[in-house]
Amino acid sequence: MSKGRVVLAYSGGLDTSVAVKWISEVHDLEVIALAVDVGQDEDFDVIRNRALAAGAVEAEVVDAKDEFASDFIVPAIFANAMYENKYPLVSSLSRPVIAKHLIAATKKYGAQIVAHGCTGKGNDQVRFEVSLRALRPDIEILAPVRTWGLSRADSIDYAARHSIPIMATKEKLYSIDQNLWGRAIEAGEMEDPWVKPPTGIYQTTVLSATEPSTVIISFESGVPTAIDGERMDLVPLISKLTQKVGSYGFGRIDMVENRRVGIKSREVYEAPAALALIMAHADLEDLTLERDLAHEKLRLSPRWTELVYDGLWYSPLKQSLDAFMTESQKFVTGEVRLSLEPGRVMVEGRRSPVGLYDYELATYDAADAFRHEDAEGFVRLWGLGVQTWSRKQLGSQ
Ligand code: ARG
């Protein structure tokens, strides 16, 4: 009888490399290692070969960068998604696209099982498993890291015993997750929320620019389309912005975050492009969205963000909120100019061919077209309820 097959979400790191061998030995399964490129800037040839060296029967790398940008990051821009008002969902966005490719691979390779290398304490296990079951309800899931009880040193010894070519050292490293939208850095001395994050952890937000400058971001129906007038696809646009605003030391986040599994954790992120794009996009919405729509969107955005953070990318409420978000973006077209100074990025101008800012209504100059005479009756009726309340119930004269 042929062995069962499992598709493993493979990162090339210590845990998933050990997992390749562990799963084939302990569960007697054929392991197909799948690495999904969401812009984590790794050498995928090395990663692929490592999976094969660890005993995978197949090792595949899927380039999902364009899809990640257009189908996962763009909706997050539409929603101006910032979990707990601070974190632009970097890791939370990549899990559902990875899950999608894992399920596709189960079909391609005839596997019934998916495995991942997440621990039991994090959000990523939640996002993977909830997404996998939403996409393929009969899928079986293996999470060896959650149960194998290996310390970091044990895993390194295990890798050495089985000649798995890993790069890790026994010294505790940070837990880092990186994609096109940003970088998450956890653990080590940062587990004390009072301790300043070591400066060496940062990569994309190291200050190197010396002169102030500006950058103009164009949007069409909510989608970023150009930088300084140069049209670009999303992946190069986001990479260019990461480099540009990151060189001003902008884009760091240091926060205590509520995980789905009930833990508060200290999280450090760098996400220069995400913060700059959301800042610019939200500002363009101020110019182009009618007031009630803008206010309702401000109420629904945190809900959308929470669903995505909590692993419910593939869910009926999230789908319905997406329909609202997409409809709201119809007229979010125009340009926003950001001023860049060391350590600071701010909006300094915005314009739109379909903006709702009307100079003749807003001005105090001679061009004023506002009907001042309408204001008196409007304000009197607006306040009529409280005026009556004051007279009748407070007994005011
Ligand atoms: N706390 C963040 C989140 O839940 C970052 C997770 C980073 N993942 C990791 N495996 N290091 O989205």
The full DSSP string for 96-145 is HHHHHHHHHHHHHHT-SEEE----TTSSHHHHHHHHHHHH-TT-EEE-HH
What is the SS3 assignment for 158?
helix
Ligand 1 atom 4: residue of nearest CA: 123
pLDDT in tens, 268-306: 999 999 999 999 999 999 999 999 999 999 999 999 999
Q: In this structure, which amino acid lies at residue 225?
A: T
Mutate to test the pocket of ligand 1, among 36, 86, 124 (most ligand atoms within 8 A of CB): 124
Q: Which residues line ligand 1 at a C-beta cut-off of 6 Å?
A: 91-92, 123-124, 175, 177, 184, 186, 257, 267
All CATH 3.40.50.620 domain ranges of the chain, comma separated, are 5-175
Ligand 1 center to 282 CA (angstroms) = 25
Q: Which of 121, 131, 255, 267 to mutate to test the pocket of ligand 1 (most atoms within 8 A of CB)?
A: 267
Task: Name every residue whose Cβ is closer than 8 Å to that of residue 148 and which is 6 or more positions away in sequence.
Answer: 22
Share of the chain above pLDDT 90, in %: 92
CATH code 3.90.1260.10 region(s) in the chain: 176-351
Q: Which of 180-184, 224-228, 310-314, 356-360 has the lowest mean pLDDT?
A: 356-360
Helices (H), the chain: 14-26, 44-53, 65-68, 74-78, 90-109, 124-135, 144-147, 152-161, 234-246, 272-288, 291-309, 316-328, 359-362, 372-382, 384-392
Structure tokens at 186: 């956890």
User: Which ligand 1 atom is the nearest neighbour of the CA of 257?
Assistant: 1
Q: What is the pLDDT of residues 222-258, one digit of tens each?
A: 999 999 999 999 999 999 999 999 999 999 999 999 9
Whole-number Å distance, alpha carbon 184 to ligand 1 midpoint, is 6
Beta strands in 168-243 (DSSP E): 175-179, 182-186, 213-220, 223-227, 230-231
360 burial (CB, 10 Å; 0-12 / 13-18 / 19+) is exposed
| Nearest-CA residue for atom 6 of ligand 1 | 91
Q: Which tokens belong to 304?
A: 């959308």
Cα of 150 to ligand 1 centre, how many Å?
21
**Whether this model's pTM surpasses 0.75:** yes
Task: For tokens 């190291």, name the residue.
Answer: 206
Give residue 218 CA to ligand 1 midpoint distance, Å. 30
Cross-strand pairs, 28: none
* Look-up of token digits 């290996």: 150
Q: Write down the pLDDT at residue 151.
A: 87
DSSP 234-277: HHHHHHHHHHHHHTTT--EEEEEEE-TTS-EEEEEEE-HHHHHH
Q: Whose CA is nearest to atom 9 of ligand 1?
A: 177
Q: Which residues are catalytic?
A: 15, 95, 124, 175
Measured in angstroms, how far is the CA atom of residue 123 from the centroid of ligand 1?
7
Q: What is the pLDDT of residue 1?
A: 52
Q: Is residue 172 predicted with pLDDT exceeding 70?
A: no
Mean pLDDT score, 125-132: 98
CATH fourth-level superfamily of 176-351: Argininosuccinate synthetase, chain A, domain 2 (3.90.1260.10)
Residues 6+ apart with CB under 8 A from 50: 12, 17, 164, 165, 166
Homologous superfamily in CATH for domain 5-175? HUPs (3.40.50.620)
pLDDT average, residue stretch 174-185: 95
Pairing of strands 334-341, 344-351: antiparallel
